Structure formats: C-alpha cells, structure tokens
Amino acid sequence: MKIGLIGLGIMGKPMAKNILKGGYQDLMVSDLNQQSVQELVDCGAVSGTNAEIGSSCDVVMTMLPNSPHVKAVMLGASGVASYMKAGQVFIDMSSINPVASQEIAAELAKIGVDMLDAPVSGGEPKAIDATLSFMVGGRQDVFERFKPLLATMGASVVRCGDIGAGNTTKLANQIIVACNIQALAEALTLAQKAGVDPQLVFEAIKGGLAGSTVMNAKAPMMIAGNDKPGFKIDLHIKDLNNALDCAHAVGAIVPMTANVQEILQYLHNNGCGNDDHSAIAKYYEKLTGIQIGR
C-alpha cells in the first residue's frame, strides 16, 4: 500500500514516523516546512508534490489546521483530488467542521474516491508514543480496510458513524477537555488561595471520581508553570468555534462551551495563543494574582 501524508506539524510529524515504524514503508510526505519533510525523508519516507501524491498513492491522508486548509489542499486549484482516480481513498485526520467533511466527501464521491474523517485526541505526547484516540466517520467497509493503518498511530480506533461523525465526536471531546481544564485551573487556584498545596490536592483527588486523563496531564503543567504546547490555545479556539457553529446549526445548548471559549479568546488576545491549553490557569492568575504551585 502506498500512502501519502500531507501535514507534518506538531501532530503530523510524529504520526508519520509511527506509520513507518508500524511497517508501512511506502510513505510519501508533503509540508510547507521543508525541514520537517527532510526529517521524514531521513526516516525512510520520500517527498512528494500534490500531483505525485494524488496520482500515485492508494490512500491520501491529511493532518492540517482547519477546514479551509483541507479544502484548499484537496479541492483547490491543482489540489490533490484533481490527480486522484476512482478506487483511491482520502483520510482526513484534521479536526474540522463536520459539515466541511461532508462537503469534501461529496466532491470526492463524484470521482469515485471514498473518504474517512478521522480526527484524533491525545495531543503531541500521544502522537509521539502512538497512543492517540481516533474517532472515525465513513463507510464500515472502508473503515475496516484502513483501521490497521490508523492503529499504527493510535491505541483506540473507533468508527462513530457515517462521514462527519468522526469530527462531531471530536467536537464533543474538545468541549469536555476544555471544560475539564477550566475546572482544574479554578479548583487548584481555590486550593492555593485557601492555603493548601495544589500538588497535594492533585495527589489526593486524582484517584477518585474527579480524576481524569486531563487532570493527570495538565495539573503537573499548571503547578510547574509549563506552557510548552502539546495542544495550543489557538487550536482549541478553532475547535470550539467549530463546536459552537455545529451546536447553533443543530439547536444544541452549549453555555459551558461558550464560557470557556471566551477565556481562551482572552488568552489569545493577551499573547498566549501559542501556549498549551493548560495556560487557562493564567486567566485565573490574572484575576487573583495567584500562580498555581508558586
């Protein structure tokens, strides 16, 4: 199987390396950052253009920031789809609006190309160690065919329904993650304000009902003041914008999402857009003057 992967950013680069480690050696990659491309070439991949990827790969995969980027790469002038033919498959691992996934799939269907929308959760650490969670939308037979490929990058690969279901599930995931991080920052700020060591609070409650993967990953970062991005605030803003758009379209009520989005937007406006989303703690620091753990 010949695989094409476009997008070698924080997530895409380690995911590409794990495809190679998983035994899929025929990998062609592309990215605007030529240093990232060269790093993958050094690992055994080859560099390719849109035309080369579209015309020669059995499956084309993308890991890009948002809907416009995926549409431009696939459907734009000289986009990959213009070089594809019936029988090829497109797997978009980006986190985009479910409506956009459905629109792209409809265009590709006109030339006989099937699609899966397969966004991931887990951030850079899980991209590196190949334990991402894949949430997939698309036909069952296409999913079964490519599940082993996705499993080289993730510990969980679940089909959630037809096209768009993967990204709808990812939006639900991003709501839960953002609201958990906000609650964690608020709780640890309360603890420190009351004179209790946030580290001890974390140790005491992480094994109980309040414990979570989010807490285990983000509490140590808040306490250490570590804002190195595993997942950037600006990317979470993008996801929650998509969540709000989807919610408005289907008539869902999401007040918690709107609240945490305003906090993230405040942080973006104050120079923190490239910080890890655990930097929600900085919002509470601004309000209270308290730095968690310090």
As beta bridge partners, residue 92 has 62, 117
User: Is 170 one of the catalytic residues?
Assistant: yes
Considering the candidates 17, 170, 238, 282, report the single residue annotated as catalytic.
170
Asked if 155 contacts 132 with a C-beta cutoff of 8 angstroms, the reply is yes
> Which residues are catalytically annotated?
170
